[in-house]
Amino acid sequence: MKKLRVLALEQDRRSLALIKAMLQMSGLTRVQATIDVDRAFIGLLESDYDVAVVRGDSPRFSGVEMLGMVRAIKRKAPPVLMTFSSGKTADVRELASFDRAAALIRPMSVRQMLDRIVALTRPKVSYAEYPPTEADIFML
């Protein structure tokens, strides 16, 4: 089965490195990670990612607004898993209006992230391909 191509966008390098490492340790080896919002926006428009993991509540950008712009331009944009700090219920409610998008509130485990990715990308991937690992004990 085809390996998923994942785009990860995070607000700081440490969090981004941690997310990328955890996804890769869980078997998702094709992860492109960036803190550059413009690069991520262009990547979502021009590349064929299978899923994007985006920080939804960065002080530098609104993940929900970026998703809206991408989907307005490109009809077949990839599904998006957007992570939020607790207390961002308005953004989470707004995200619910998008098709093929899911929210995850921090702190979160790697297993929770993988579960949402699997749900967003069915039938491309199954749980059997990404069994629990030692990485599942870490919280992001």
Is residue 48 situated within a structural domain? yes
Does 139 reside within a domain? no
User: Mind listing the pLDDT tens digit of every residue in the chain (140 residues)?
Assistant: 358 899 999 988 998 999 999 888 888 889 999 999 889 999 889 888 999 999 888 777 788 888 989 989 987 889 999 998 876 678 888 888 888 899 988 888 888 888 899 889 876 555 455 555 554 444 44
pLDDT at 133: 53
pLDDT of residue 17: 93
How many separate domains does the chain show? 1
Report whether 56 contacts 71 (CB < 8 A). Answer: no
Interatomic CA distance for residues 33 and 26, integer angstroms: 16
- Write down the pLDDT at residue 33: 94
Examine residue 33 and state whether it is found in any structural domain, yes or no: yes
Those residues whose C-beta lies under 8 Å from the C-beta of residue 120, and which sit 6 or more positions away, are 51, 79, 80, 81, 100, 101, 102
| CATH classification at residue 45 | 3.40.50.2300
Q: Do the domain assignments include residue 131?
A: no
Residue 21 in any domain: the answer is yes
Report the pLDDT value the prediction gives residue 30, as an integer from 0 to 100: 92
pLDDT confidence of residue 1: 30
Is residue 114 a part of any domain in this protein?
Answer: no
Structural domain contains residue 133: no
Domain that holds residue 43: 5-108
What is the pTM for the complete model shown?
0.82
In a domain, 13, yes or no: yes
